Structure 1
Amino acid sequence: MPSKLSLSPFALPSPGLAHFNRVAGSQSGQDKLFMVYQYAAYVAVAALTSKRFGNKARADLALRIEKLRATISDARTLYRLFGLFPIIAWAQSLNDPATQPKDKQHLLINKLQAWSMMAYYPLEHLYYLAGKGVFKISPARIGKIAVWSCRFWAAYVVLQIFHIRRSFQLLGEERTRVVRAARERVRTGSATSDELQREKADLQRLAAQEKSLKNDCWVQAGYLPLTAHWSLPGGLLPNNAWVGVCGTVAAVAGLNGVWKRTA
């Protein structure tokens, strides 16, 4: 049998390596892989430069880790320069009865999220390019634009928390309907094997959706303090180590979601 994950070119085809290639080959997967390093690097640098564990060799290593982190951070921002266009397409789909969410609360939340992202992306593009000298804007002005950009991102995160909460409510209601219908058919003796199999499949689908929502909870749990931190001129978190911890939580949970979707 082929191994689950083999990096040897002389081994049989590896399903694990094929899965990793699917993740790394997708735009979302690449971004999450880079994100894991970007935020974990903050924690590593803090540890390597601490008074307790730091020394000259570790300080040199921390400097090299930080340089790669900065490069990755810059690249991730650059790759988002076209991020506004999918948001516009998503916003347009929310106006189409065939593709918009059937639940009115979900629809309202999604529309508010679309507006928040349509404000976030242009502001991020503006402060990023201004920081590179493309636009002539004072450093103080760039800082204000960056803060407002993050505030719109924070608004999206808060709205996503409400979206998750509503999704849990709808899943609970649907699960209750499926279970009640199954019990009623069993009680009246009208249940067929096909119906029971279909109800079992429905419950498995609902369980998978609930698991995905729980994973999204971890993503937003990492993003919420980060966006709040960057939305305040003086910040919220005490140091970059905490930025790294929160970002790593969001990155790992996000990567886990991409990994499962590409299984």
Structure 2
Amino acid sequence: MPSKPSGLSLSPFAMPSPVLAHFVRVSSSQSGQDRLFMVYQYAAHIVVAALNSKRLQSKTNADLALRVEKLRATISDARVLYRIFGIFPIIQWAQSLNDPARQPKDGQLLTIQRLQCLSMILYYPLEHFYYLAGKGIFKVSPQRIGKIAVWSCRFWAAYVVLQIFHIRRSFQLLRQSRSALIRSTRERVRAGNTAPEVVQDEKAQLAALVKQEANLKRDCWVQAGYLPLTAHWSLPGGLLPNNTWVGVCGTIAAIAQLKGVWQATA
């Protein structure tokens, strides 16, 4: 009897593991790598706080916390560096919004996305500049670097707020589409039309709406994590009380995004 593929197996002598194959697909993609790094980057704040807490405080845990923090800082630095070309997809997105065949049909969504593109076009150069200035590439005072970083995050925060409006409008359009599909199905049933191709088309439309709703709900979690983070970094004195809360908010956003990448590569 042939052996069944294993679940998650890291043994080179085991049968092919579908879970491992899925993980490889995720970790091999740029978005998947970034989300995996992001999970560690923010979860590390929580781990460090726990290791340094009074209950777990010890010399061994303090040393471990220091090493976790060093890796977190390295990953955070790498993620910024990997975004150095991030403005080009944004420009491409902005160009697509000028194409009637590719732009959103809904006027509100089109306006929101154009404003989002503008916010990101302002965000990326500022992020690149303060990052490179912090590395000594540009001769800028630390005070000015801090101000540029704050303004960069403000444009990111603007994107997040706009995305919340984008989600809200998308839910409205989703409800309209679902209502229209229900009306169409009722009219078909009354007319006695049971053609298989029509029924299959309705099922496909319903499945697409269900998937769209799931994606929107997941995006709600992403923005729920990003909104306090971007507000925190947009204020000179910050908003969140400590890095533990930064870790909590960032981890929520990271896990929600990783789930999306995981499902997209299934």
TM-score range, shorter chain: over 0.9
Match of 2:70 in 1: 67
SS at match of 2:212: helix
Q: Aligned equivalents of 1:231 and 1:188: distance in 2?
A: 58
Match of 2:21 in 1: 18
Q: Aligned equivalents of 2:238 and 2:119: distance in 1?
A: 21
SS at match of 1:102: coil
Match of 2:41 in 1: 38
Structure 1 residue runs of 4 or more that deviate by more than 6 Å after TM superposition: none
Match of 1:113 in 2: 116
> Post-superposition shift, 1:52?
2.4
Which amino acid counterpart does residue 167 of structure 2 have in structure 1?
Answer: I
Q: Does 1:100 align with 2:103?
A: yes
Query: Residue by residue, what CA displacement relative to the aligned partner does 1:92-142 show, whole Å, maximum 9, x if unpaired?
Result: 111111111111111111100000000000000010000000000000000
Q: Which residue, 232, 235, 241 being the options, matches 1:238?
A: 241
> Post-superposition shift, 1:15?
1.5
Match of 2:196 in 1: 193
Q: Aligned equivalents of 1:89 and 1:147: distance in 2?
A: 26
Q: Does 1:149 align with 2:160?
A: no
Match of 1:122 in 2: 125
Match of 2:214 in 1: 211
Matched-pair identity in %: 74
> Post-superposition shift, 1:22?
0.9
Q: TM-score, normalised by structure 1?
A: 0.98
Q: TM-score, normalised by structure 2?
A: 0.97
Report the number of matched residues.
263
Contact kept? 1:147, 1:230, Cα under 8 Å: yes
Match of 1:173 in 2: 176
Contact kept? 1:218, 1:253, Cα under 8 Å: yes
Query: Residue by residue, what CA displacement relative to the aligned partner does 1:179-229 show, whole Å, maximum 9, x if unpaired?
Result: 111111112212323212211221111001100110011000000000000
Any gaps of 5 or more consecutive residues in structure 2? none
